[in-house]
Amino acid sequence: MTTIEGTVVRILSDDTEGDKHQRFIVEKKDGRTLLIAHNIDMAPRLFDIKIGKRITVTGDFEGNEKGGLIHWTHKDPGHEREGGWIDYQGRRFE
């Protein structure tokens, strides 16, 4: 699991292929950007997400040429592995 802190810089449309994912881009303090793919079939949607707001995300990191992505930002329904979460505006989404 990887934890990052940053600022929401872009809100994307949901990915509705297979499990539904809420998608947005977070910019870390070092300027690196990451795609966050938050499974909204497994965890609550962040309804009030806004550009410019601070956010903390814990999940599985996969690097790529664009910076990378973080997914698995929810509890494991099978209780077999560590789950992720998102802290946003004083609320934890997991």
The residue ranges of every structural domain in the chain are 2-93
Q: Which residue has the tokens 């997914």?
A: 71
Q: What DSSP assignment string belongs to 6-35?
A: EEEEEEPPPB-SSS-EEEEEEE-TTS-EEE
Q: What is the pLDDT along the chain (94 residues), one digit of tens a residue?
A: 999 999 999 999 999 998 999 999 999 999 999 999 999 999 999 989 999 999 999 999 999 888 899 999 998 887 888 889 999 999 999 9
Is residue 84 exposed (0-12), middle (13-18) or buried (19+ Cβ within 10 Å)?
buried
The yes/no answer on whether domain 2-93 falls in CATH 2.40.180.10 is no
